[in-house]
Amino acid sequence: MAEKEERGSSATSLKDQGNEFFKSGKYLKAAALYTQAIKKDPSNPTLYSNRAAAFLQLDKLSKALDDAETTIKLKPEWEKGYFRKGSILEAMKRYDDALAAFQIALQYNPKSQEVSKKIKNINQLVRDSKRAQEVENMRSNVDMAKHLDSLKPELSRKYGSEESWKNMFLFLVETMETAVKTWHETSSVDARVYFLLDKDKTDTDKYAPIVNIDKAFESPDTHSNCFSYLRQYAEESLSGAACLVVRKSSIGYPQIWKGQGLRKWKNAQNDGFFVQFESPSLRKLWFIPSSNEKGRTFCRSRWPSLTLLAAATLPSPTLLPNITIVYASPRTRRPSHAIMRSHLEKYLKAVSKTKLQRDPEVLDIGVHEVLPRLFKEKLPNS
């Protein structure tokens, strides 16, 4: 009996020494002293709990978790063991398991502010982790063919030949996907024009499929000279189409997003890049806005734009962006609130399900063109 008390007293002394080292940040020495104490008193849950805390600080997570499990086994109704386990699982980024451990700890000590704070933090970490994964999925799953699918019928009408319009569509998709992936990797794109060369007729020793135009947008003169060169290049290289990619912030001239009326558009303050498609029969222009979330840059789309009937009192426009207001009656401008409520519910439901995607914003090329027409216009039946 006396020997047991002596061993217990010795273990307590070693534990106290370990606590002092722990407080001073000397976790390895603390862990060593807790180990010595455990040898003298192997059934003491506090010693395993303390050593688990030291191992956690030393990033020895597997050993820390073993000690936390031993603590729980020795004293199942002590919240400290579950707290240690939750903290270690949190460090392992096993957030769901950590949350379960903290919730058990709270059951045994409902008044613990420390445990409640941990649960709140873990819930936030889970949300952040899921959102970060969503962002990463959007960055890696670039499928421009899906977003440009509506362009196929127009290309088919313009070019007739299935091989011809499909080659153009594939060319555009590949160019846009390359630009988006480059943006995701570097947060920028180089000013370039990609040409769809004739694989049978183009002299590929003389004409490359990509032309860098980094100086083209410095002034009206450089812009005009570049345009003249590109138009000649398109003709002499026998290209079937061309695609311009340029970052918005690198354009000194023409700043097509400035102005009033038709020239004014909502993405004037956003970073991103333009993609302008040129061919003899079809011209298109897109702007792909950029966003930064969870430390990752990715291309994003605008909010869904729906048409709603206007009620006497509307919510703040900041809550419902891009709503086109259509009044049911020019006189009263008071449609039934039941109709308005129905439309609002549909809109909010759509917004709640919407994830940020890479839908390019289609612009009116006649108003916002970045470069003038590169190919001589081919009119129908000509």
pLDDT, mean of residues 234-263: 87
Residues 297, 174 share a domain: yes
Residues 109, 49 share a domain: yes
Position with higher pLDDT, 291 vs 382: 291
Residue 373 lies in a domain: no
The pLDDT value given to residue 5: 56
Residue 255 lies in a domain: yes
Question: How many domains does the chain fold into?
Answer: 3
The pLDDT value given to residue 76: 96
CB 91 within 8 A of CB 101: no
The b/e string for 162-190 (b: 16+ C-beta within 10 A; e otherwise) is: eeebebbbebbbebbebbbeebbeeeebe
pLDDT above 70: residue 207: yes
Alpha helices, DSSP H, located in the chain: 2-23, 27-40, 45-57, 61-74, 79-91, 95-108, 113-140, 144-147, 152-159, 162-186, 220-236, 337-353, 365-368
The mean pLDDT of the chain is 81
Name, of 37-46, 121-130, 261-270, 340-349, the range with top average pLDDT.
37-46
Position with higher pLDDT, 135 vs 369: 369
What's the pLDDT band for 380 if we cut at 50, 70, 90? low
Residue 32 lies in a domain: yes
The CATH number covering residue 79 comes to 1.25.40.10
Residue 209 lies in a domain: yes
Residue where one domain finishes, among candidates 138, 168, 187: 138
Residues 156, 126 share a domain: no
CA distances from 113 to 46, 118, 209 (A): 20, 9, 64
Q: What is the pLDDT of residues 315-367, one digit of tens each?
A: 333 333 443 333 333 444 444 445 555 555 554 555 444 433 445 778 888 88
The pLDDT value given to residue 216: 93
Q: Is residue 185 classed as helix, strand or coil in its secondary structure?
A: helix
The pLDDT value given to residue 34: 95
The pLDDT value given to residue 50: 96
Contacts 24+ apart (CB under 8 A), 258-262: 262/364, 262/367
Position with higher pLDDT, 297 vs 60: 60
Residue 294 lies in a domain: yes
Residues 172, 102 share a domain: no
Residue 126 lies in a domain: yes
Residue 377 lies in a domain: no
Name, of 47-61, 141-155, 249-263, the range with top average pLDDT.
47-61
pLDDT above 90: residue 267: no
Residues 335, 245 share a domain: no
Residues 283, 153 share a domain: yes
Residues 313, 284 share a domain: no
Residue where one domain finishes, among candidates 117, 138, 159: 138
| Six token digits for residue 221 | 């003169």
The pLDDT value given to residue 327: 37
Residue 241 lies in a domain: yes
Q: What is the pLDDT of residues 1-42, one digit of tens each?
A: 445 555 657 888 999 999 999 999 999 999 999 999 999 999
CA distances from 195 to 30, 206, 226, 303, 325 (A): 67, 13, 15, 32, 42
- Which residue range forms the structural domain that includes residue 340? 304-353
pLDDT above 50: residue 311: no
CA 363, 367, 372, 373 torsion-angle sign: positive
What pTM did the predictor assign? 0.54
Residue where one domain finishes, among candidates 81, 108, 138: 138
Question: How far apart (Å, rounded) are the C-alpha atoms in residues 292 and 131?
Answer: 12
Residues 274, 164 share a domain: yes
The pLDDT value given to residue 366: 80
Residues 110, 180 share a domain: no
Residues 269, 152 share a domain: yes
Residues 225, 149 share a domain: yes
Nearest CA to 298 out of 276, 273, 321 is that of 273
Residues 259, 112 share a domain: no
Q: How many CB atoms lie within 10 A of CB 111?
A: 7
pLDDT above 50: residue 87: yes
